[in-house]
Amino acid sequence: MDRRSFLLGTSTLALSQIITGCGTNQQPPLNVQLLKGSIPGQVVNQFRKTVTAGGKLKFTPINQLEDLFKLLQTWQQPSTNNQKEWTRFLPFNQNQKPPTANLVTLGDYWLQAAINQKLIQPLETANIKNLANLHEKWQQIIKRDEQGKIWGIPYRWGNTVIIYNQEKFQKLGWKPTDWSDLWRSELQNRISLLNHPREVIGLVLKKLGKSYNTENINQISALKPALQALNQQVKFYDSTNYLEPLITGDTWLAVGWSDDIIPVISSYQKFAAVVPQSGTAIWADMWVSPTGVTPNSLADQWLDFCLQPKISQQIALLTKSNSPINKNIVVGDIQQKLQSLLFTNSEIFAKSEFLLPLPPAVMKEYEALFMKMKQS
């Protein structure tokens, strides 16, 4: 799944549609549209038990982050009879505008675009007592204006990580631990990288001791030579099928998103993964409120429920992701093979970064440099 563009795939876990209530034709008091696989059914069932009699819930899983973003766009557009091709895969009448949800899953990378397009509104957080449980680092992405308004609440997260073929590296006599290992001569033409300028240039910046969110990239003299040298190591650039060459043996190492990589590690004994020691990029799934939705007490309850330490822990462990609540998961809770990815090392976490919005002119520089890298 490419989490950082409009070419997204399905998540790895499934959640069937869950509806509770009296089966009336009225819209339920709480309507949640969520990324499929990002919330376990057990957690929804636990929440249902906390809701007073008569409260109605509707949780609808959507396959792709792209479709959730387009739903946000649809709700802000006048009704039309023109059916878009993509809507035929969504769980509502194709000839009707879907009812606006109270809460929607959105990836952190999409948050600024949703704000700029006025697709979402700030969350009312007065009744969300457990918001104080969030690690302080999350304040960087949930507040996007000077007023300190909260635009989203994260409920799980992951990293950009390195996955490698243990059999190949056993013969080499070493294991990758950091970004700098990607430049080792043994890996020439043996690497798959994401086809994404922020991710690739970002990891090179990190290797050089810089930030993923560096704006003055043309002033870093070591950057272009490092990118050219890395390109000699790369066999494939792809943000959707970057793991297939690793599985077939065409490459020995790949860089990708943890929610893509964990199912591969779980299925194939020969693969292992590591979070680079110098820090990496973080992605997050968060709850947002569509523009124009009236504040809802059940929505507040759900957000507060997700931020309870025990519930946040369940979400993380059952969806094989990380919790935004500080230090509520111990290494023994995690399957041994996944501990290197899912147990949060505080030192690495402190060095890791969210991909924050960059000015359009800077983004063009990233894209141009990335294209030049691939042509070198």
DSSP string across 270-299: TEEEE--TT--EEEEEEEEEETTPPP-HHH
Map tokens 């799944």 to a residue: 1
CATH 3.40.190.10 occupies which residues in the chain?
Answer: 18-157+283-335, 158-281+353-375
What backbone phi and psi angles, to 5 degrees, belong to 234? Answer: -95, 135
DSSP 150: B
What is the C-alpha separation between 237 and 235, in angstroms, rounded?
A: 7
What backbone phi and psi angles, to 5 degrees, belong to 163? Answer: -115, 140
pLDDT digit string, tens, across residues 103-118: 999 999 999 999 999 9
What backbone phi and psi angles, to 5 degrees, belong to 119? Answer: -90, -20
What is the C-alpha separation between 129 and 299, in angstroms, rounded?
A: 13
Residue 2 CA: distances (Å) to CA of 69, 100, 299, 370: 14, 26, 29, 17
* Residue 146: per-residue pLDDT: 72
Decide the pairing of beta strands 234-237 and 191-193.
parallel
pLDDT less than 50: residues of the chain: 1, 6-28
Burial of residue 171 (number of CB atoms within 10 Å: 0-12, 13-18, 19+): exposed
Coil vs helix vs strand at 181:
helix
* Residue 14: per-residue pLDDT: 38
* Residue 8: per-residue pLDDT: 32
Cβ 128 vs Cβ 153: under 8 Å:
yes
In CATH, which superfamily holds the domain spanning 158-281+353-375? Periplasmic binding protein-like II (3.40.190.10)
Q: What is the dihedral of CA 293, 294, 299, 301, to 10 degrees?
A: 160
pTM of the complete model: 0.87
Q: Which amino acid is at 339?
A: Q
Q: Where are the beta strands (DSSP E) in the chain?
A: 18-20, 30-35, 57-62, 103-107, 120-121, 153-165, 191-193, 234-237, 253-257, 271-274, 281-290, 353-354
CATH of domain 18-157+283-335: 3.40.190.10
